[in-house]
Structure 1
Amino acid sequence: MINLKKSLAFGFCAGLFGLSGAVSATTTLHVATWLPPSNPQNSIVWPAWKNMVETATEGRVKVVIENYTGAPKTIFDAVEDGVYDVGFSVNAYLPGRFKLASVAEIPGEISSAEAGSVALWRTYEKFFKSAQEFQGLQLLGLFVHGPGQLHTKFPVNTLADLKGKKMRVGGGLVNELAARLEVTPISAPAPKSYELMQQGVVDGTFLPSEEQMTLRLFEVSDYLTIFPTGLYTTAFSIVMNEDTFADLSKKDREAIMNVSGEKLSRLAGATWGEADNDGIQIAKANGVNVTKLSLDDPRVKNVHKLEEGMDQTWIDSVADRKVDAKAALAYFRENMNELSK
């Protein structure tokens, strides 16, 4: 267990300090990440956070980023149990546990991942924190990826072309949209999309455009259909082991939160959102048929009709949480409008 190793190392360092007075104890945070090295979380966000943490704590806290080979949905438990100190995953991979952040998954609400991520963090701080959904974990950040689009083996000339098609979905409110589109949903984490499409298990997947690059979807999809505000977004949480966080000095806890929270949420959202353009360029360069739809396109108008009432679907889904969901949604939208200007 990593915590045991860390404790032994700490004890050893403390012993040396007691003997010589010359050795300073350091804490190493082991970060679990489950996406490919090319994903912006691994290529940009984690290295940036590592540098910020080590600088802010003046080297007293070190960060080591490690590949996680388990199922993405198990990362929350791995962090809570102390197998890893820090990690991130998709909230919807654990249905029913982290419900409130799905306010950012209501279709048609988000056109900017950066704005959506900041609005989500602010809404959490003002409305959701008291619900204690992250009890047992220290929440470091919340973010969303860029607008989710359609990566398919078939052309989507009308929404009727989706009816009955097998589409990979990741959970959350996109599942409700998939039902309204009358597709056959196949639940699986994002990294499984390539394999499922390659083997013909699914006809397509709902994912942001950047996955044409990160997951190499250009090799298995023939069409990328881009909706102006996307079809959906997915909420992610960045979490830390509660005991590990508590064991740090007050100074280092404050230093870590000063470079996390809204700052980390903004960094992750902006980074993932900017990667969408790279994904689109990779798709075009490799012969994928890329179609950017306009706001007056019938496919877009019909999707907007299908999305009607999904805000109420979210409100109803969190009725068991002690929060003012309507006020939280209004506040989220207010922040989205302001941040998107």
Structure 2
Amino acid sequence: MNYKAKLLGCTAALVFSVMASGVALARDVKIVVGVPPGSGAEFGVKAFSEELKTRSNGELNVRIFPPSLLDLKQTFGGMRDGVVDGGYLVLNYFPSDLPEAMLPIELAMLGKNPYAMAGAMSEYIVTCEPCVAERLKNNQVPLGNASTGAYAILGTSPMTTEAELQGKKLRAAGGAWSRWAAAMGAVGVSLSGNEIFEAVSQGTIDGAMNAPSELTSIRLIDVATDVTTNMPGGTVHGLDVMSVNRDFWKSLSNEERRAYLDAAALGNAATTWKFVTDVADNLKMAKEKGINVHEASPEMLAKSAAVIEADLANIAKIATETHGIQDAEAKIAHFKELVAKWEGLLPMDKEWTAEEVAEIYRSEIFSKLDETKYGL
């Protein structure tokens, strides 16, 4: 017998011995985070990793892979094809693959409370049969969502009144913000996240509609002079940090799937908590740096609210004509009810910990998913 054969024989004997003794072999869970270190997504995945290890008694250990493996747009296909077991997805990037998920995403301007938006989106998706079906079709299992902080205007001049906003070119993250800008007399400009800093610094645009957490994450703190904190509002709540490859999900035991679901509640909560905390920290840093932090005038807020309400009335048409959604009006009404429910469960006038938010997500959503059936 050669050395290689002996080694294989010894390894097999060891595995058999460990299994016979009742001690489970630890298994790696490969998760890619296609954004730079320090992001809310990375924070959430790390919190999830520790929670999963504890809840699975050390049987499931997360390995986090950087953007050099898969970037944000590659992660969808990479998870579908089993390159990784899980990964950070921004669902907005995949409208043709996930038309049902686009409906609540289009309702971005409802977003004032990130914890509520993450809760509403998570509950909507995992209880919506067409939403789950479109993920299963792509060999993925949805496990809830996180949210950014509420959007502000990060610019190179004050933008708090109608006159100040007129004609300003502002980076818009999606259709809802582009439509808001047009109705308010500004111009929404579509740019990816890594293009914003250069566009603002070179004067190509006058600012960006983004959460204030972006002041440091993309270094807008070095070029912005003014921040309007209470306008336009809205959240990106289609942040998917916990979903997994369906084949991987099927390979888990019922006990491991339960551990994964319970830990996913923390992953979503911690990601959202990080975004919320970064908003507060960034606004404090902005003031210390001499950046002017404003609130929009009452007149502007009233106009903004009217614009948002009018736009919401058009979402059903957009969902039907653009994404082919059936019963769009009923689905919109359902999502609005969920937002109201979650705003009551997680009001923003309290300082929440990630663990407290996770416990509510767990009790209201994840504990109600049957690990013996869901996603299989």
TM-score greater than 0.5 by the shorter chain: yes
Q: Is the 8 A contact 1:155 1:223 kept in 2?
A: yes
Mapped contact 1:131–1:321 kept (Cα < 8 A): no
Say which is worse superposed, 164-173 or 269-278, in terms of deviation. Answer: 164-173
1:275 to 268, 275, 278: 278
Greater mean deviation of Cα atoms: 317-326 or 209-218: 317-326
1:139 aligned onto 2:142: yes
- Mapped contact 1:97–1:133 kept (Cα < 8 A): yes
Q: How does 1:84-163 map to 2 (within 5 A)?
A: 84-99=84-99, 100=101, 102-103=103-104, 106=107, 108-127=109-128, 132-135=133-136, 136-163=139-166
- How many residues are paired up? 325
1:248 is aligned to 2:249 = no
Displacement of 1:263: 4.4
Give the aligned partner of residue 5 of structure 1: none
Check conservation: 1:114, 1:269, Cα contact below 8 A: yes
From the superposition, tell whether residues 212 and 330 of structure 1 become closer, same or farther in structure 2 (CA, over 3 Å).
Answer: closer
Partners in 2 of 1:15 and 1:75 — Cα distance? Answer: 37
Q: Does 1:301 align with 2:307?
A: no
Partner of 2:339: 333
Counterpart AA for 2:300: R
Cα distance change on mapping 1:27 and 1:175 into 2, 3 Å: farther
Q: Give the CA deviation at 1:65.
A: 1.4
Amino acid corresponding to residue 256 of structure 2 in structure 1:
D
Structure 2 residue matching 1:115: 3-state secondary structure: helix
CA distance in 2, matches of 1:250, 1:112: 34
Equivalent pair of 2:120/2:335 in contact (CA under 8 Å): no
Matches within 5 A, 1:12-27: 16-18=14-16, 21=19, 24-27=24-27
Q: How do 1:170-209 residues align onto structure 2 when only pairs under 5 Å count?
A: 170-209=173-212
Distance 1:164 1:274, change over 3 A: same
Q: CA deviation at 1:77?
A: 1.7
CA RMSD of the aligned region, Å?
A: 2.7
Cα distance 1:313–1:268, how it changes in 2: closer, same or farther (>3 A)? farther
Distance 2:37 2:104 in 1: 29
- Cα deviations across residues 228-268 of structure 1 (Å, max 9, x unaligned)? 6x5221121232111122122222112101221x4443332
Equivalent residues of 1:193, 1:205 under 8 A apart:
yes
The question of whether the paired residues in 2 share the 8 Å contact of 1:151 and 1:224 is answered with yes
SS of the residue corresponding to residue 332 of structure 1 reads helix
How far off its partner does 1:157 sit? 3.9
CA contact (8 A) 1:33 1:65 kept: yes
Q: Unpaired segments of 5 or more residues in structure 2?
A: 1-9, 348-376
- The residue that corresponds to 2:236 in the other structure is 234
Aligned partner of 1:285 among 280, 285, 288: 288
1:62 equivalent in alignment to 2:61: yes
Equivalent pair of 1:108/1:304 in contact (CA under 8 Å): no
Q: Does 1:47 align with 2:46?
A: yes
Distance 2:94 2:14 in 1: 44
How big is each residue's C-alpha offset from its partner over 1:69-116, in whole Å with a ceiling of 9 and x where there is no partner? 454233212211222221123222223433435525535523221122
Q: In 2, Cα distance between the equivalents of 1:325 and 1:61?
A: 36
Which structure's CA Rg is the greater one? 2
- Which deviates more, 278-287 or 32-41? 32-41
Q: Is the 8 A contact 1:127 1:328 kept in 2?
A: no
Identity of matched residues, %: 20
Shift of 1:182: 4.4
1:122-155 Cα distance to aligned partner (Å, 9 max, x none): 2223346556232221112212211111111122
Query: What letter is aligned with 1:59?
Result: G
Answer yes or no: is the 8 Å Cα contact 1:141–1:264 preserved in 2.
Answer: no
Q: Which amino acid aligns with 1:18?
A: F
Instruction: Give me the whole-angstrom Cα distance separating, in 2, the residues matched to 1:225 and 1:195.
Output: 20
Secondary structure of 1:298 counterpart:
helix
TM-score with structure 1 length normalisation? 0.84
- Alpha-carbon distance between aligned partners in 2 of 1:202 and 1:13, rounded to the nearest angstrom: 61
Question: Quick check: 2:44–2:268 contact (8 Å CA) kept in 1?
Answer: no
Mapped contact 2:177–2:188 kept (Cα < 8 A):
no
Name the CA distance, whole Å, in 2 between partners of 1:17 and 1:304: 63
In 2, distance between residues paired with 1:206 and 1:249? 44
1:212 to 210, 215, 225: 215
- Report the Cα offset of residue 219 of structure 1: 0.4
Question: 1:8 corresponds to which residue?
Answer: none
Q: Partners in 2 of 1:141 and 1:266 — Cα distance?
A: 10
CA distances 1:163-202 after superposition (whole Å, capped 9, x unpaired) = 4333222224223223323444332332432233234332
Note if contact 1:116-1:269 (Cα within 8 Å) is conserved in structure 2. no
SS state at 2:144 partner = strand
| Equivalent pair of 2:76/2:89 in contact (CA under 8 Å) | yes
